[in-house]
């Protein structure tokens, strides 16, 4: 039995992997992304303590719906690798039930640790916040080196993955940098697709409630035109775009 801290669960998730998904949002994150819409997941011990058994009970109840949709379970966060044993145990249990499994991670984890999850994972949703390390440090508080190391691990281990990036006007929407990013991803064999997600301000009130300064207060979501322009970069490089 494994115990861990979670923020919440969602039984009919449709944006964190294929089909309908039971999503577990784990508590605790070592990053401090300026656009984080769940800053209430940051502190590990502020979550709800649960067992993997109790989560599996909930999952089994909706298993037929999940399976009919081609879905599965996704462990998201927060950062699921912060509670590695808990995440590992939940993945093992889900796999034993024959479910499709995914984790959504920032990649801020030692590759050797992440490798333990791979035998029980069908898909990795990897958030590469930006390829520019200086911008990454400013945007998230940490370097992107571990994330890029993880890309190499996923390639080496032939692990299918999707890459996701939030497009923040003035920070991650530079066309030339996006071309560099596409060039980098073009050579990846196990990358199934990339999803560019427009920045939104939905988490802003949570920052205010927590008494935190929301540095992106003046930033507007990107226009549809800008998103189309950036998406086109990946199409040009023949990378599957969501
Ligand atoms: S990695 Fe996710 S949960 Fe952690 S700070 Fe960034 S957006 Fe928030």
Report H helices in 82-236: 84-96, 111-114, 133-140, 145-156, 175-186, 204-209, 224-236
Res 132 pLDDT > 90 = yes
Res. 240 pLDDT band, cuts 50 70 90:
confident
- Whether ligand 1 lies within 6 angstroms of the CB of 77 is answered as yes
Would the pLDDT of 171 be above 80? yes
Q: Residue 242: pLDDT band by 50, 70, 90 thresholds?
A: confident
Which pLDDT tens digit goes with each residue over 10-32? Answer: 999 999 999 999 999 999 999 99
How close is the Cα of 149 to the center of ligand 1, in Å? 19
Nearest to 13 by CA among 119, 104, 121, 83: 104
How far, in Å, is the centroid of ligand 1 from the Cα of 34?
A: 9
Q: What is the pLDDT of residue 238?
A: 84
Average pLDDT over residues 174-187: 95
**pLDDT of 241 over the 90 cut:** no
Residue pLDDT, tens place only, 75-126 = 999 999 999 999 999 999 999 999 999 999 999 999 999 999 999 999 999 9
Instruction: Give the count of beta carbons closer than 10 Å to the beta carbon of residue 43.
Output: 14
Q: For residue 68, report the distance from its CA to the centre of ligand 1, in Å.
A: 31
Cα of 130 from ligand 1 centre, angstroms: 13
- Given pLDDT bands bounded at 50, 70 and 90, which one contains residue 239? confident
- What is the pLDDT at residue 124? 98
Residue 222 confidence (pLDDT): 97
1 pLDDT more than 80: no
Which CATH code of 3.20.20.70, 3.90.420.10, 3.40.50.920, 1.10.150.80 fits the domain covering 3-236? 3.20.20.70
Tokens 């939104």, residue located: 200
Core vs surface per residue 161-192: b (16+ CB within 10 A) or e? bbbbbbbbeebbbeeeebeebbeebeebeebe
Annotated domain spans of the chain = 3-236
Tell which atom from ligand 1 comes closest to the C-alpha of 39.
Answer: 8
Nearest CA to ligand 1 atom 6: 33
Q: How far is the CA of 125 from the centre of ligand 1 (A)?
A: 13
pLDDT score of 9: 97
Ligand 1: does its nearest atom lie under 6 Å from the Cβ of 29? yes
| 186-230 per-position pLDDT tens digit | 989 999 999 999 999 888 999 999 999 999 999 999 999 999 999
159 CB within 6 A, ligand 1? no
38 CA → ligand 1 middle, Å: 7
Task: Specify the ligand 1 atom closest to the Cα of 31.
Answer: 5
């Amino acid at each position: 039995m494994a115990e861990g801290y979670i923020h919440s669960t969602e039984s009919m998730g449709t944006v964190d992997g294929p089909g309908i998904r039971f999503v577990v949002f784990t508590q605790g994150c070592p990053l401090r992304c300026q656009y984080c819409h769940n800053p209430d997941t940051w502190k590990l011990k502020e979550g709800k303590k649960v067992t993997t058994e109790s989560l599996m009970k909930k999952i089994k109840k909706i298993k037929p719906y999940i399976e009919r949709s081609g879905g599965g379970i996704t462990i998201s966060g927060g950062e699921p690798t912060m509670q590695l044993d808990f995440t590992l145990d939940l993945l093992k249990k889900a796999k034993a039930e024959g479910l499709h499994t995914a984790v959504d991670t920032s990649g801020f984890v030692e590759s050797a640790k992440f490798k333990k999850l791979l035998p029980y994972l069908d898909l990795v949703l990897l958030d590469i916040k930006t390829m520019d390390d200086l911008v990454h440090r400013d945007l998230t508080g940490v370097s992107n080196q571990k994330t890029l190391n993880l890309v190499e691990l996923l390639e080496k281990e032939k692990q299918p993955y999707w890459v996701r990036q939030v497009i923040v006007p003035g920070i991650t929407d530079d066309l030339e940098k996006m071309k560099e990013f596409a060039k980098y991803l073009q050579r990846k064999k196990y990358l199934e697709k990339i999803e560019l997600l427009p920045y939104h301000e939905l988490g802003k009130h949570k920052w205010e409630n927590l008494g935190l300064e929301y540095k992106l207060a003046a930033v507007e979501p990107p226009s549809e035109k800008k998103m189309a322009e950036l998406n086109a970069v990946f199409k040009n490089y023949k990378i599957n775009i969501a």
